[in-house]
Structure 1
Amino acid sequence: MLNYLGIEAFLTIVKTKTLTNAAEELHLSQSTISYRLKVLEQEVGKKLLIRKKGVQEIILTPFGEEFINICERWMSLQQEMEILKKRGTKLSIIIGGADSFNSYILSPLYQKLCQHNPIINIEIRSQHTDESYESVERRDIDIAFVKKERIIPNVLVEPFYEDEMVVVRLATDYRVHNELISPEELNSNHEIFMNWGPSYQIWHEKWWDPISSSRIIVDTAALVFSLMYDENQWAIVPRSIANHFIIYKKFIIQKLKYPAPPRICYKIRNKHMNKMKQECLEILEHYAKIVYSTDGEGLSFPVDSSY
């Protein structure tokens, strides 16, 4: 097994370029740094540095260059091991999710988890859907909330909730909050368009000619609301996001007479989980049912999972 001191010395030499600088950074003598490097080279059975007289900056051997990545991963694992030792048997969970999910939908659920007793250590990461699938497959994260369904070995995928799609517009005196509106009444020239997925795109093209498309196209929900300045402008967004922004009293929500396909949030996790992770997921499911049965107008929470 590789020794920590040798790897620390080697990575510091690589970072600082010389043995002298590495010794200064680690507050050690140069002879100590040299000894630790020598011991590490003996352990791996390969030279890591080329030593030349009169040349201060290090020269890595081809093996040494390849060995850097291994050392960095090894140090990362050591740090995770230390964290795990300090945590002991405390419950912990790492959650990934699209930024819009984390910001506008899942925050009440996260708040419940933070208040749980006994304490759960929670790490939340904002990730794109593809990144979340890769992280779950590698078991870098425990659970993720994603925008689309994919088939990947060892990854379980199931719907977490459905989110009704609604029209949002600037508030005016003559518009009634939550009034029903037909897509035929909406002029695509005034649309702020965001693509909510393939099924939404197909529905959208049934009502508006894709050739004479919207003047404004965005890729984040927040931009929809920040770019809306005219009473004729409109956009279609998930109700959970609309509810987040209308608290500022500037916007209204209108239901579609001919509804767009709901946006589905999928929950994904690795098929192989230990008992402590399973316990955390059961707690998360419990709070999800509480939060979304009382909070989400337009949200449908269909999952009744047991782990």
Structure 2
Amino acid sequence: MEKGEIDIAFALFEKPMPNMIIQKFYSEPMVVIREGNHSEQGDFISLLSLDPDNELYHEWSPTFRTWYDQHRKDVKFSGIRVDSAGLILTLLNNPGKWSIIPMSMARKFITLGTFTLSNLDGSPPERMYYQARPRYPSARVAESLQILDSCLSIIHDNTYPVFRTHNLLNGKVR
């Protein structure tokens, strides 16, 4: 973006850049997904009630890591550290395994197998997505960005109605 080779970017981390506007684009809750059917589907559960031996841990962000460390400080980690979110589904297919993942991933996992989705007491920070765009776009780029904004608004309104309160598209909470 700084070289002017692209006009917009989407990122998982907020990185200030000169002559760019970085804004929150979208957020979604983090939830617990577990293999199998559990009676607490959708209910709130305590992180400390989950077996640390069966955890699949992925460090989603520095903010998530801080939250996690505060909530698990008295529990020795004995699970599996996963460095790729794509591995979680494969490893989650083992009895008793669980992980904290973004809601969009959890919804997809539920369509692929027998999983239980639960909310956490003391909710983890939401997964944030950011948009970067030029502070002073050319007329051509400004017109393109307006078209993109219209398309993104339609997609968000029709694809994720459950998450409208988490949609920060163009700085507006819907």
TM-score, normalising length: structure 2: 0.86
Residues of 1 paired with 2:153 and 2:130: CA distance? 15
User: How many Å apart are 1:137 and its aligned residue?
Assistant: 1.0
User: How many Å apart are 1:287 and its aligned residue?
Assistant: 2.4
Q: Does 1:137 align with 2:11?
A: no
Amino acid at match of 2:104: S
| Contact 1:293 1:301 survives alignment (8 Å) | no
Q: Identity over aligned residues, as a percent?
A: 28
User: How many Å apart are 1:171 and its aligned residue?
Assistant: 2.5
TM-score, normalising length: structure 1: 0.51
State the SS of the aligned residue for 2:147: helix
User: How many Å apart are 1:176 and its aligned residue?
Assistant: 4.4
Q: Deviations over 1:174-222 (max 9, x none)?
A: 4343222121211222110000111111110122138822431112221
155, 161, 181: which one aligns with 2:26: 161
User: Where in structure 1 are there 5+ consecutive unaligned residues?
Assistant: 1-135
Residues of 2 paired with 1:238 and 1:167: CA distance? 9
**Who wins on radius of gyration, i.e. which is larger?**
1
Q: Which residue of 1 aligns with 2:70?
A: 206
Q: Does 1:301 align with 2:167?
A: yes
| Contact 1:162 1:265 survives alignment (8 Å) | yes
Which has the larger helix fraction?
1
Amino acid at match of 1:198: P
Q: Deviations over 1:17-64 (max 9, x none)?
A: xxxxxxxxxxxxxxxxxxxxxxxxxxxxxxxxxxxxxxxxxxxxxxxx
State the SS of the aligned residue for 1:304: helix
Q: Does 1:269 align with 2:142?
A: no
| Contact 2:24 2:131 survives alignment (8 Å) | yes
User: Where in structure 2 are there 5+ consecutive unaligned residues?
Assistant: none
Two-structure CA RMSD over aligned residues (Å): 2.0
Residues of 2 paired with 1:195 and 1:201: CA distance? 6
Amino acid at match of 1:197: S
Which protein, 1 or 2, shows the higher relative CO under an 8 Å CA cutoff with sep ≥ 6?
2
| Contact 1:240 1:298 survives alignment (8 Å) | no
Which has the larger strand fraction?
2
Amino acid at match of 1:258: G
